[in-house]
């Protein structure tokens, strides 16, 4: 089983980080804690486990952060035990090729998507499960570092992987592989929107026009088309996709403070040292970047009592001015991956709601996959993906057929 994975090897981590300042290709060398190897396939670890052959797997920003060692070892997640080896790739469309005797709702030949993000009570078969897993919010499991999981499971950036039946959802025949591999990022976008639903007449801003930002725009326009949605883009091809998804305003370039003030009728002020701020602004801001500068700008572009939904996350966090949270009584809301939603009075998982939207032809995922690569060409793929402007990348995937 050819696979790409990260080993928590501190000497290699430190050496690679140091060398990367003068040798960018060190990440693809034997010095890096990231490996591309042919591992022996392990047996199914239990009767409720299955083996999945990958068909398509997305290249996600969180995987890139790990591959290029951007994660600071002092972040909270790094303090948790049990993460000594991490297999990359979680946006997956695959086919079950082996199933344990007690797997109930899946069988060999089924096409599936993968809804796991971190270990949880369900795949560890902890009974009783924690309150979050009982509610279907497995991504924030209280027991994610309790107990143990099998090693060498593989992931999306592997030819195959093993998973607990609770981590997989069967794909209806009507949904193509290309749509299925985008269900996970679409679920991330949907959960963010449902965490703080835009209302009619709301002025909404999306910071970042990568795959998640574009999908948040698309989903807001499906759920609440009367809201006014603006999006900040960096590249022309992102602007074109934002127009296709009915963005009301597309912002780019310099002077964003002045542009936003004019658009939202906010008061613009500029103090010493180019210190800019607004009074007034957007009702809701979805920050799909999550870096210190975008958080700081979000806090200054949001109207008093408005809401900022943090979707993107920087694994190497920096400093920002948090005082507008207090001075403007802002609401800070985080959205992490997917789980259980309350939508129109129905309790439904984020994945199942995305699948429902696809079957009802409400959600258009066509054209979002712009590049495909074989797994063995991963170095070419990652170099291309990290140069989005030149290659006009929205979503790149590994294909295994």
Structure tokens at 258: 């002045």
219/158 same-domain check = no
Given a contact cutoff of 8 angstroms between Cβ atoms, the answer to whether 298 and 283 are in contact is: no
pTM, entire model: 0.95
**Structure-token pair, residue 287:** 């920050």
Question: What CATH number is associated with residue 228?
Answer: 3.40.50.720
Query: Count of domains in the chain?
Result: 2
d(CA 63, CA 185): 13
Q: What average pLDDT values come out for the chain (401 residues) when binned by 10 residues?
A: 90 92 94 93 93 96 91 82 84 96 94 90 93 95 88 93 95 96 97 96 96 98 96 95 96 92 96 94 97 97 98 91 97 96 94 97 94 96 92 95 75
Cβ atoms 303, 283 nearer than 8 A: yes
Q: Among 334, 355, 384, which residue terminates a domain?
A: 334
pLDDT tens digits along 348-397: 999 999 999 999 999 999 999 999 999 999 999 999 999 988 999 999 99
Residue 279: C-alpha distances to residues 67, 98, 300, 303, 328 (Å): 40, 59, 8, 6, 9
pLDDT digits (tens, 9 = 90+) for 55-79: 999 999 989 998 999 888 888 887 8
CATH for 60: 3.90.180.10
User: Does 60 share its domain with 176?
Assistant: yes
Same-domain check for residues 294 and 373: no
Q: Where are the alpha helices (DSSP H) in 175-274?
A: 177-180, 183-195, 211-223, 236-244, 256-264
Is the CA virtual torsion 238, 240, 244, 245 positive or negative?
positive
- Tell me which DSSP letter residue 180 carries: H
Question: Does residue 148 share a domain with residue 32?
Answer: yes
Determine which helix (DSSP H) or strand (DSSP E) holds 121, and give its type and residue range: helix 121-124
CA–CA separation, 6 and 63 (whole Å): 10
CA–CA separation, 47 and 162 (whole Å): 12
DSSP one-letter code for 158: B
Let me know if residue 28 belongs to a domain.
Answer: yes
Is 47 domain-assigned?
yes
Domain span at residue 34 reads 2-182+367-399
**Cβ proximity of 187 and 338 under 8 Å:** yes
């Amino acid at each position: 089983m050819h696979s790409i994975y990260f080993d928590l090897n501190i000497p290699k981590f430190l050496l690679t980080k140091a060398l990367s300042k003068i040798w960018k290709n060190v990440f693809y060398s034997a010095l890096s804690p990231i490996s591309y190897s042919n591992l022996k396939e392990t047996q199914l670890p239990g009767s409720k486990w299955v083996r999945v052959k990958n068909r398509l797997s997305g290249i996600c920003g969180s995987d890139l952060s790990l591959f290029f060692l951007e994660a600071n070892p002092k972040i909270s997640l790094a303090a948790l035990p049990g993460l000594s080896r991490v297999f990359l790739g979680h946006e997956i469309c695959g086919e079950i090729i082996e199933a344990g005797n007690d797997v109930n709702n899946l069988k060999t030949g089924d096409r599936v998507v993968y809804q796991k993000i971190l270990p949880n009570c369900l795949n560890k078969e902890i009974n009783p499960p924690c309150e979050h897993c009982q509610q279907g919010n497995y991504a924030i499991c209280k027991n994610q570092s309790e107990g143990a999981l099998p090693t060498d499971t593989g992931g999306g950036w592997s030819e195959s992987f093993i998973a607990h039946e609770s981590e997989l959802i069967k794909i209806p025949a009507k949904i193509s592989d290309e749509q299925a591999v985008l269900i996970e990022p679409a679920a991330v976008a949907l959960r963010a929107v449902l965490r703080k639903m835009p209302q009619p007449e709301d002025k909404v801003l999306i910071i970042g026009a990568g795959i998640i930002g574009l999908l948040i725009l698309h989903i807001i326009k499906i759920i609440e088309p009367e809201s006014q949605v603006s999006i900040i883009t960096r590249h022309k091809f992102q602007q074109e996709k934002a127009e296709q998804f009915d963005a009301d305003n597309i912002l780019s370039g310099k002077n964003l403070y002045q542009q936003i003030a004019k658009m939202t009728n906010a008061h613009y002020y500029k103090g010493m040292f180019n210190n800019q701020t607004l009074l007034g602004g957007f009702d809701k801001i979805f920050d799909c970047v999550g870096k210190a500068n975008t958080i700081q700008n979000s806090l200054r572009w949001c109207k008093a009592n408005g809401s900022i939904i943090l979707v993107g996350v920087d694994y190497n966090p920096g400093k920002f001015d948090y005082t507008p949270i207090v001075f403007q009584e802002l609401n800070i809301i985080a959205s992490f991956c997917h789980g259980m939603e309350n939508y129109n009075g129905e309790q439904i998982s984020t994945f199942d709601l995305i699948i429902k939207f696809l079957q009802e032809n409400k959600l258009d995922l066509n054209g979002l996959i712009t590049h495909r690569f074989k797994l063995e060409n991963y170095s070419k793929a990652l170099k291309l993906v990290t140069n989005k402007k030149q290659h006009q990348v929205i979503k790149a995937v590994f294909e295994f057929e």
